[in-house]
Structure 1
């Protein structure tokens, strides 16, 4: 499968770097802006770099945090990043989202777009109240954005749950990931990852639970859980 940056040629030394990168990338079928160093400079990648699918699963705490850590790394490398949260509703004010907004606005790295289920789905114009319908809307939008190669790093937080509930067809998910164009890392988090999803992934980590404060009656708290 060809990649948008296949066949990139050496830069013209007489052309300013930013203009040269933008000109070389203008014909590629990848959304970009002149300030988007992630898509405008594909030569930053090494030949060994391959787009991966990662699944972070298991009963232990830290699956989403694992994904957010990779998100920060990708932002630092100038990647176009996206986050879709499939379980937490729009009213959840998670610390990672606030941090991502600050990073994205800083202009120091890449960009981060963040979509949260429920009222947080920014593209929905009609009123949807059923969680299953909202989830399917979210997945349909993810498929559209993958098809247009909008991101170089995409975190699908807690996607494993609607797959387990039968709201999203796992075979459709696998096919979408397998056939994604361009250079797109995709990370999926959540418990009980479907075997087909595990089989399709390049990287799978299972987080076990050894101890958890809830067993001592300590409730979830800000700065640790959100």
Structure 2
């Protein structure tokens, strides 16, 4: 799990997804907050690798699913969207994939937010993850990870911001933030 107030949680998890792909694992990325309106460079890269797998057999297959409605920690969601319902449906879908051992590696991007907001039951999520069958790997990203999830995880990294260009009024930069 990559949590904390600093930058790089998703970026680090994407690096792990690349390693999983290189090992021939079936990789799934599930974005729980960002919507399809957000375009991130990692999506292009991993989907290109998934296509390479289909064409040559190199690496493993890649699934990329957007569960979110467009909220981020820096921007509120559209009132017409129902982010809680989207998060619940997204978790139901991931739970089914875990139960059927459909993938080898799951990246649950920004998954801590629906837990922090009470949209998903933390105990049920922890139980599902702890009791998942097989040797599936799950990496979770997001701020304010619940204590029960931190306790259940095998590996937790807390990202701490020391300094960031945003603090000096600089906007996000292509190639750096997305």
Fold-level match, TM-score > 0.5? yes
CA distance in 2, matches of 1:118, 1:65: 18
| Match 1:156 to one of 99, 108, 116 | 108
- Aligned equivalent of 2:141: 189
CA deviation vs aligned residue, 1:33-73 (integer Å, no higher than 9, x gap): xxxxxxxxxxxxxxxxxxxxxx1101110000010000000
> Is contact 2:34–2:66 with CA below 8 Å preserved after alignment?
yes
For residues 47-196 of structure 1, the aligned pairs below 5 Å read: 55-107=1-53, 108-118=58-68, 129-196=81-148
- Aligned equivalent of 2:154: 202
Moved over 6 A (4+): none
Q: Structure 2: state its 5+ residue gaps.
A: 71-79
Task: Give the greater-gyration-radius structure (CA).
Answer: 1
CA deviation vs aligned residue, 1:155-189 (integer Å, no higher than 9, x gap): 00000001000001110110000110111000000
Number of residue pairs matched by the alignment: 165
RMSD (Å) for aligned C-alpha atoms: 1.4
Q: Does 1:223 align with 2:169?
A: no
CA distance in 2, matches of 1:98, 1:188: 20
CA deviation vs aligned residue, 1:6-55 (integer Å, no higher than 9, x gap): xxxxxxxxxxxxxxxxxxxxxxxxxxxxxxxxxxxxxxxxxxxxxxxxx1
Once the 2 structures are TM-superposed, how far is the Cα of residue 118 of structure 1 from its aligned partner? 4.4
- TM-score, normalized by length of structure 2? 0.90
> Is contact 2:27–2:63 with CA below 8 Å preserved after alignment?
yes
CA distance in 2, matches of 1:216, 1:140: 41
- Comparing both chains, which one has the higher relative contact order based on Cα–Cα distances under 8 Å and sequence gaps of 6 or more? 2
Secondary structure, in 3 states, of the residue corresponding to 2:156? Answer: strand
